[in-house]
Amino acid sequence: MEPEIVGIGVANACIKCVTPQRVEYFDEAGQECFVDIEECARNWVQLHGARRGRKYRYVGGRGLLEDPPWIEFANKRRTRFEFESLNEGYGLIIPLKKVRLLTLDMN
């Protein structure tokens, strides 16, 4: 299954907020959408196993050194945010870490 790609910075697409439960965003058409973090964490554990003793939860993967840089969540739709720059990708990584969520470097 191909990921659902959202080009952050393209047309109306932007990230609205990050909470421990969800990442809210607007897609290119301006439609308000969200990624369910609980679904991502469950799917990640099913695919990759749990990491014991961690205060953080993995919810997806990232390829910030690729062109374009991206972050993909482990939800059913495989929502992938593509960014115009590495710095824009970190604009999502930092808020994720603040709520104890991680993505695995896939480079």
Tell me the per-residue pLDDT of 22-61, one tens digit each, with 9 for 90 and over: 999 999 999 999 999 999 999 999 988 876 657 889 999 9
**For the whole model, what pTM was predicted?**
0.93
Q: Are 39 and 76 in contact, with CB atoms under 8 Å apart? A: yes
Taking the C-alpha atoms of residue 16 and residue 25, their distance in angstroms, rounded to an integer, is: 5
DSSP 13: -
Q: What is the pLDDT of residues 56-95, one digit of tens each?
A: 899 999 999 999 999 999 999 999 999 999 999 999 999 9
pLDDT reported for residue 73: 98
Q: What is the dihedral of CA 19, 97, 63, 14, to 10 degrees?
A: 40
In the prediction, which pLDDT does 1 show? 78
Chain-centroid distance of CA 70 in Å reads 8
